[in-house]
Structure 1
């Protein structure tokens, strides 16, 4: 920020000495203005409130005061006695009767600041014309405003080799550094990653890489933004532009559900950089590196510029919008009448775009087969979302970021916030530093958990519901041991007013867990929030992009809710809940298998009385979309023309509980004749739990329409491809995990580039229906008419339907011979994906892929830290990675959800909760 002396505001907060001092406040005078300030407030903050800007470099309102730069010196009197020397206003707290004179009224303070500025410039290089900070540099601005016109320095300036790569994304120019320690304090206090530190002493002191800590921070880019002198710069932005050449637009991050406010800077139609925008209620002044640097995909060479239509020879050819819309409308109409069309939207759409898909499915395609969950999911999750999440916002009493900082306790279930919602992690860390106890249910004490000082409540995948049941019980059995003591303490604190339970989307992988979470919230009175990983999932839920939900989160089976939407839309809606993502894929594959069988291309279907394959003994207990066995072989088989293997696997996935995606009891969607078409909106196949089956389904579908930003595996198989706007090219809004509305403007509005809502609205007109989603404003108005005024949710709290019993298991014991380890996995923040394409510098800061085992398990295997370890999946796939010994359950082994950008399920044929074998790569007995 620019720090230039400002004359005092007229009157300040009032000059009267006769008014009473508010409780908890003191009265002081700053430059002749009487100020009432809270006890403990810093002088520099009190001055800011009355419009007096005291120059500073080290001070930051979100960092602990340190007084390192000495630029904010002021004169201070207490009790009529002046302090012998000027004081640093960034460390001096206010006192009753204090008199402060800043550079505005005190020649002593002005001289002290001018002299200190001259001292800071002694060794500072004169490279403002090429410095990335030039034009927005506090040191430059302060020097121009108050510095000396000449220098008394005649000796040679100190010179360092530059730049020093702190990481692949951060470059350090030590000559520019004024040792304000903003970067070191941020890394230690805010991020908890001491990746950068002060080195040496005296005149040799400098900023450098911390030799004791690896550079594994997701938040390092913030040090660039808060550096006041350009000592830290971005590899991606270095020497690319000047601040005064940029156009800035307020936007919102599209990478996760944290809802971070961003400032997007662009020039000549190209995004040059993104910065964290201040928002005290959400991200304060921070963002993660993924949101800051992960925008290269916007300008990749595979961006789609024109519609594509498959010709008679089976080749995709460029087409006009008119021809493409006609072909898409005719093909979807035929598929709708032949067997139906499924709509897969993914979880990255804005609220209004998701609403357009939900409405298009029901009005134009006459189906409830629409689902935003391009991941593992279950019918229990759909019920939980309708019952516990839909309609909950900060204005209706839902927990907020601020509530976390004041909570008596926070419980994390199936959630790793540092990887899955980084700014949520920073707010939790802030709460933990203030003394809020954090508990996490799981099998691994992660790096993020340690930085939160979180207490691990150990439970293997599948046993979490048992643990939550213990916390729910009013009278828990007294059992000796630290784990029991931690459970008792967690159970007691969760009953205190204001406690918060945060549950992640991975809870859908464990049958009964979401039901147990709801019961825990009911029993303890804790406030409950759901934290998805993708930015658009919360909004898609409210928009009705689920097979059993209407806009506003009301069940399709609710006649009153359905009647309200029918009146708003002017159509009759299907009353039967639709298929979820897994069921739609299975339906397509089943139809393809029947067609092949009718042509004599495959053998008869297996008898339903035959036993399931040996690798799937617990298929009924698995959530929809669980990873398949023999993934590589199956994708080759299915795409080549035979889909029987994939459909048999998908039949297992959608039997039992997962055959019905209904939110409330009702008639089931028919399995026959099978879907004849698919409409996909930005679905990344690798995000799906079984990418091979998904690819086979797209290849086998009779008619496919894809709305996409860039060319992909889906667009290569589609019959019609319609290009849509990227997030920087459109306006809209996301809902963050709180349910908070996060609107943003188009940073780069591009003529001829349409958002999903506009494309679907035009496509609807071709199919003789009006969606009224031609603009985000129109879509919001239409959505408001469709949302019933009644409270969201079709069942009373605590009655979300689910399995009668969760898959039960031990909290964790040592692995036994032949039994193997239980696999634990989640996706890390920088593990690849299409939204991280085009930014190789960011990819270089990703955490290394490792295998994690407990000290006891490592001892049993005879391996130590860094030793290569092999993990063998049930399909015969093997992963070899270095070992990282971690505090965790002895029977568990942890692997990242993606390894070198490849989904783990594609490598092992196994997902979280499955049994795998582990052995030393150098040979020896495994477990």
Structure 2
């Protein structure tokens, strides 16, 4: 059972003495009776109660007998049993649960009998059968034989709350867990109580029935792909906390029985939040994922992406055997071969080009894999030309920022810190880019412990749900806005600046954020989007950075790392991603080892594609380490398959710097990146230890003052593009999840009324955006966006990405009807 961890604040709360089933204990004032009983190891049956939701007293299953002292101190019993999930302890209270009170036991039996009157006896086909609290408590707190002989109430079933969530209303016991989660935790009105009395039921969102007429709680930009106002990234949590089988998953429904499944704890791989999950599988196939419990990180909640997007790891295009080009000159088709042959070909070609090679390891790596890539690049390829970033960034400013503020900094700002902080978000939309952070911030804001401000072109729905204050900024003007912030923190709150990776594309943005933190005494945290980005920084997968946060130019650092790895470290700082691609295209580099990189994620996908094609045309080599076939696969000479997270063990590092260790779920022949690199080193005759170096930290790299770049001025028929990736989009980690894809938000183009009028598109239902490489048409939504700016999602389904339009955030795009 989940219990709330004590904090310094709660330790000062006065203690209250209470007696439960003859045991006397002291608990903090305000503790619910049901929690006090838990502390004594006494389990009271319940359905509506949940430790992370407000008390509701909806199911009445937790009735207990209570006596209270009167003014004279005489103990007087309450006239009827009380709901222990809503009653707070008071001095001298005496409670008798079903364990010691016939009154409480009979009351619980009566409630259970009422709940079962209309509940269907369909346990053999119910997804909840075998792990159902109603089943369990019907046996412990119910009658042996039913006295009801009438016809049970039925409803048409199931109702599609969304493409992912299905509702069987006759199973619902009206505990209201789902509606309370939606309102209190996620802030999304996608499911609620409808009607009253005997007709009351849980139903799908209906603006008229739910009383939202006149002011839709969901903005026009937050419709799902069907055009319905379903707008929740967290709906799957309602399935898990439902104490019966009323809410089920369309992707899991009727697929398995809980007692057929094998469960394994793991860590979600889709972002840098490190949410704990539980993987349930049968016969080598993952059938579902549930939220794990970790009160320090994700508590008991995960996003729908973390919950439902897992089939990519066993996709039909999964690489299971090494591939090599048929002809020695690099022409011909890729053909399957043995590991020995593939490693021999790769080792021979790499050895011939040593010193003229580069590495692009991507952002999917565990810490162990990242260290292996770092030692392999320096000690075997003989180069510092390495960059893990597979996204847009502006200049060397981000690399300096990561060296100065992130690398080897250990655990900095934590989730717990966010619960009593004055938080400034810059280049970060938590609901889309770091869902676990969003839930923690919203919880803290509603509790009154946190204030949120966001530097953004408009107030997104996620920011609205956090009651955030908007500091309006057109793309490129963030440094100017940050310079105007005079205070952060105070009034007992910690000042925190959360910087998203997108800010790296704004010249002077990261330096301005660092200056703000220094000026106000606030703490600064970098929030990347990928699960492996923080580990890549710590492992030194940057051209000027070594493991442990020390610069390549540091001779002592090079010597110590060389001694630890058993291989020399090049002394010249290398090229970054853009420089590596340019050198590949020009022939300065003769090959690249690349892993986990989607070309569409790079700043210029066409240039990246042309660079890899140029390498092969010039007789160079492209070695790919990848889980699934991709564009890179088709351009590679040697393809070495690596294991997805479910088939390997490792450690992700969260945005906090917190290690999140996970074990393999399946034992398969698949090999991790580190194991493949070790095999390749053996083939090359090189022995690398690749052990974790000490996190040396001498004098920090100096971060220069903010030097904002020029802000483009749109001309006639033009606007400045603002964009970021939505949580659910065209990313390959969501492939083969049609039910989840149906809940993705509808791609739209958003701009202010003044901008729409100036562009002459205010009366048009759609607008056409045109860039240097292409164009796309989007539904138009007029909203409170900064004037002169148009926002579109970066990589939506069924629409061209902004990269394929040839524009990035902060650049000019043409807008027309």
TM-score, normalisation: structure 2: 0.92
1:391-540 superposed matches below 5 A? 391-394=408-411, 398-407=412-421, 409-435=422-448, 436-472=450-486, 491=487, 493=489, 498-540=494-536
Q: Given the alignment of the two structures, is residue 767 of structure 1 paired with residue 700 of structure 2, yes or no?
A: no
What do residues 252-300 of structure 1 show as CA deviations (whole Å, max 9, x unaligned)?
Answer: 0000001000100111000010000000000000000001000011221
Determine the structure 2 residue equivalent to 1:153. Answer: 148
Determine the structure 2 residue equivalent to 1:8. Answer: none
The CA deviation at 1:865 is 9.0
1:820-899 superposed matches below 5 A? 820-861=718-759, 867-873=765-771, 875=772, 877-899=774-796
The CA deviation at 1:33 is 0.8
The CA deviation at 1:807 is 1.9
The CA deviation at 1:790 is 3.2
The verdict on how the C-alpha distance between 1:907 and 1:376 changes in structure 2, with shifts beyond 3 A counting, is: closer
The CA deviation at 1:904 is 2.6
What is the rounded CA distance, in whole Å, between the counterparts of 2:62 and 2:607 in structure 1?
A: 63
What is the rounded CA distance, in whole Å, between the counterparts of 1:276 and 1:335 in structure 2?
A: 47
Worse-matched range after superposition: 167-176 or 569-578: 569-578
The CA deviation at 1:739 is 0.3
Determine the structure 2 residue equivalent to 1:270. Answer: 285
The CA deviation at 1:566 is 1.7
The verdict on how the C-alpha distance between 1:494 and 1:916 changes in structure 2, with shifts beyond 3 A counting, is: farther
The CA deviation at 1:901 is 5.5
1:737 is aligned, of 632, 647, 655, to: 655
Q: Given the alignment of the two structures, is residue 198 of structure 1 paired with residue 193 of structure 2, yes or no?
A: yes
1:74-473 superposed matches below 5 A? 74-79=64-69, 80-212=75-207, 213=218, 214-312=229-327, 314-337=332-355, 340-377=356-393, 378-394=395-411, 398-407=412-421, 409-435=422-448, 436-472=450-486
The verdict on how the C-alpha distance between 1:30 and 1:513 changes in structure 2, with shifts beyond 3 A counting, is: same
**Contact 2:567/2:688 (CA < 8 Å) preserved in 1?**
no
**Contact 2:272/2:530 (CA < 8 Å) preserved in 1?**
yes
Q: SS of the residue aligned with 1:440?
A: strand
The CA deviation at 1:493 is 3.7
What is the rounded CA distance, in whole Å, between the counterparts of 2:357 and 2:326 in structure 1?
A: 21
1:37 is aligned, of 13, 19, 27, to: 27
Q: Given the alignment of the two structures, is residue 682 of structure 1 paired with residue 596 of structure 2, yes or no?
A: yes
The CA deviation at 1:867 is 1.7
The CA deviation at 1:886 is 1.9
What do residues 133-167 of structure 1 show as CA deviations (whole Å, max 9, x unaligned)?
Answer: 00100001111222112111111111101111111
Determine the structure 2 residue equivalent to 1:50. Answer: 40
What is the rounded CA distance, in whole Å, between the counterparts of 2:53 and 2:481 in structure 1?
A: 37
**How many residues matched?**
775
Determine the structure 2 residue equivalent to 1:594. Answer: none
Q: Given the alignment of the two structures, is residue 587 of structure 1 paired with residue 583 of structure 2, yes or no?
A: yes
**Contact 1:550/1:556 (CA < 8 Å) preserved in 2?**
yes
What is the rounded CA distance, in whole Å, between the counterparts of 1:699 and 1:111 in structure 2?
A: 77
Determine the structure 1 residue equivalent to 2:636. Answer: 718
Determine the structure 2 residue equivalent to 1:630. Answer: none
Worse-matched range after superposition: 509-518 or 881-890: 881-890
**Contact 1:689/1:905 (CA < 8 Å) preserved in 2?**
no
Determine the structure 1 residue equivalent to 2:815. Answer: 918
Q: Would you identify which runs of 4 or more consecutive aligned residues in structure 1 move more than 4 Å?
A: 494-497, 859-866
**Contact 2:604/2:806 (CA < 8 Å) preserved in 1?**
no
What is the rounded CA distance, in whole Å, between the counterparts of 1:788 and 1:493 in structure 2?
A: 30
What is the rounded CA distance, in whole Å, between the counterparts of 1:496 and 1:718 in structure 2?
A: 56
Determine the structure 2 residue equivalent to 1:805. Answer: 707
Q: SS of the residue aligned with 1:370?
A: coil
**Contact 2:550/2:696 (CA < 8 Å) preserved in 1?**
no
Determine the structure 2 residue equivalent to 1:756. Answer: 673
TM-score, normalisation: structure 1: 0.82
What is the rounded CA distance, in whole Å, between the counterparts of 2:545 and 2:332 in structure 1?
A: 37
What is the rounded CA distance, in whole Å, between the counterparts of 1:114 and 1:467 in structure 2?
A: 62
What is the rounded CA distance, in whole Å, between the counterparts of 2:243 and 2:437 in structure 1?
A: 26
Q: SS of the residue aligned with 2:34?
A: helix
What is the rounded CA distance, in whole Å, between the counterparts of 1:527 and 1:744 in structure 2?
A: 29
What is the rounded CA distance, in whole Å, between the counterparts of 1:859 and 1:47 in structure 2?
A: 63
**Contact 2:408/2:697 (CA < 8 Å) preserved in 1?**
no
The verdict on how the C-alpha distance between 1:545 and 1:494 changes in structure 2, with shifts beyond 3 A counting, is: farther
What is the rounded CA distance, in whole Å, between the counterparts of 1:840 and 1:390 in structure 2?
A: 39
1:689-700 superposed matches below 5 A? 689-700=603-614
Determine the structure 2 residue equivalent to 1:623. Answer: none
What is the rounded CA distance, in whole Å, between the counterparts of 2:424 and 2:351 in structure 1?
A: 48
**Contact 1:259/1:735 (CA < 8 Å) preserved in 2?**
yes
Determine the structure 2 residue equivalent to 1:631. Answer: none
